[in-house]
Amino acid sequence: MTTSTANEKDIDLPVGFETDPAEDALAREMLTTARIALLLKASFFGNMATRLPLVNADAWLPTAATDGRYFYYNSKFILMLKQKEIEFLFGHETLHNVYDHLGRSKFNLHNLTIANIAADYAVNRDLVKSKIGVMITTVPALYDRKYEKLSMEEIYDDIYENAEKIDIDQLADMILDEHLDADDGEGSGSSGPEEDENGNLKSNSKPKYSEQERKKIRDEIKESLINSAKQAGSAGNMPGDVARMIKELTEPQMDWRELLAQTIQSTIKSDYSFMRPSRKGWGSDFMLPGMVPENTIDIAIAVDMSGSITNDQARDMFGEIKGIMEQFQDFKVKLWCFDTNVYNYAEFDNTNIDDIMTYEPKGGGGTDFMCNWKFMKENDICPERFVMFTDGCPWDSWGDPDYCDTVFIIHGPDTIEPPFGTWAHYKFSESKAAA
């Protein structure tokens, strides 16, 4: 394996020393100047970097790190760098956060050392391609042209499969920063940086967060990602994977599968986390919002079979419902089809969710939305959320607005707006529906 390094010299990085206030002030000035430069030259990276408060971590950190909420630094290390190298460093930490490399490493890849190496390869490659600052030469850095088009997971696989031929320890020593989330230890999430006598933030120990707090941080990163992209506008210097991720998060017309997951999450559970990516079919280093398997879900779903939705499309829906519900530890799904009447009522939970794939849709006549509310009332069904897949063309009434929280997922013109509840429009992927 060919590994390109910026510099092979062995640098003894200082750590655990008493901070010199004058040196720290200069280091902070250099960091601030680099962030301003990024705002001017690569506004997306500049905006993402600016949201991270600077925290002196001389007590435990040899280089730099981020937990997604703060930018930790070693003052003496920063003083070794040139401005463009600091810009690169901010870009490095930004992409680790955006790609959620550390969270993905923890849950998806069993060798964390190799995962961290792969993450640095992927990040440094994208920074070089996007011309963000210049590669740091004060310490060796991981970069190899052979990984030009590979995801972090694919880089991981290459290194893992060739581990006997590679000096893994040497590569590990070339990881630019401290990967905080790779620590298996759990923290309370209550402790954080403190202010020194000059009002600057400092950290005397490596931060540890509870899993719940880590989820909150990932949500904050997602929000910052969208806001930074909006502020950057059409500015360049944004890696292609980041651009694709932003498009997925903000595109008004989304694939119906993504839209279904978002709809259930936003109506059943108000907060988001980041889903672990599947190693198969995952071609880009980005994450999409997903669900956390911790709540019991009680949901009723009605599928309009009046003629606008085909059986193949309905089965595609059932497959997606199955995949979403399997993200929860405990759930109940009440499912039926309707036109002017309700047909084929069935219940699914974690013991029989596989049976949803053989569920037979039925219907094809007119459309009477009220039959769903009549059916629920007659059978004492009052779900946490009622989701209706429909073309949005009721014969008369849209239903009972006072009975339960209702979500309409409409396969129809964007101009259709229900008089109550929440709603979203979607389009089927005909190629997938026909597959």
Cα dist. 318→9, 125, 313, 355 in Å? 58, 40, 9, 10
CA nearest neighbour of 98 among 226, 255, 214: 226
pLDDT the model gives residue 102: 62
Q: How many CA atoms lie within 13 A of 142 on its CB side?
A: 26
CA angle at 376 for the pair 372 and 378, rounded to the nearest 5°: 115
pLDDT the model gives residue 272: 38
Q: Which two tokens stand for residue 170?
A: 């040497």
Strand partners, 56: 73, 202
- Delimit the domains of the chain by residue range: 21-187+204-232, 251-434
Residue whose entry in the numeric block shows the structure tokens 């030009």: 148
Rounded-to-integer distance, Cα 173 and Cα 69, Å = 25
CATH number of 251-434: 3.40.50.410
Q: What is the number of other CB atoms lying within 10 angstroms of the CB of residue 295?
A: 14
Residues 6+ apart with CB under 8 A from 111: 156, 160
Residues 6+ apart with CB under 8 A from 342: 302, 336, 371, 372, 375
pLDDT the model gives residue 108: 52
pLDDT the model gives residue 278: 39
Residues 6+ apart with CB under 8 A from 78: 27, 30, 31, 64, 86
Strand partners, 71: 54, 66
Residue 260's H or E segment, with its range, is helix 256-268
| Amino acid, single-letter form, for residue 375 | F
Q: Give the three-state DSSP class for 21.
A: helix
Q: Which two tokens stand for residue 122?
A: 């992927």
Please report the DSSP string for 210-244 in residue order.
-HHHHHHHHHHHHHHHHHHHHHHTT-S---HHHHH
* Residue spans of alpha helices (H) in 109-187: 112-130, 152-161, 168-173
| Amino acid, single-letter form, for residue 180 | L
Residue whose entry in the numeric block shows the structure tokens 């978002």: 262
CA nearest neighbour of 74 among 127, 121, 117, 18: 18
Q: How far is CA 358 from the centre of its chain?
A: 32
CB 372, CB 338: distance < 8 Å: yes
Q: Give the three-state DSSP class for 431.
A: helix
| Amino acid, single-letter form, for residue 324 | I
Strand partners, 419: none
| Amino acid, single-letter form, for residue 218 | R
| Amino acid, single-letter form, for residue 248 | E
pLDDT the model gives residue 288: 42
Rounded-to-integer distance, Cα 82 and Cα 97, Å = 23
Q: Which two tokens stand for residue 175?
A: 């990881």
Rounded-to-integer distance, Cα 404 and Cα 300, Å = 10
The pTM assigned to this predicted structure is 0.57
Q: What is the pLDDT along the chain (435 residues), one digit of tens a residue?
A: 333 443 444 566 788 899 999 999 999 999 999 999 999 988 889 999 999 999 999 999 999 999 889 999 999 999 999 999 999 999 999 998 888 776 655 545 678 889 889 999 999 999 999 999 999 988 889 999 999 888 888 898 899 999 889 999 999 989 888 888 544 445 544 467 999 888 899 999 998 888 788 888 888 888 888 888 877 765 556 777 787 777 656 654 445 566 566 656 554 543 434 444 433 333 444 444 444 444 567 789 998 887 666 777 777 778 778 877 777 767 788 999 998 899 999 999 888 888 888 888 887 777 889 999 999 999 999 987 888 888 888 877 899 998 988 888 887 776 788 888 877 777 655 434 333
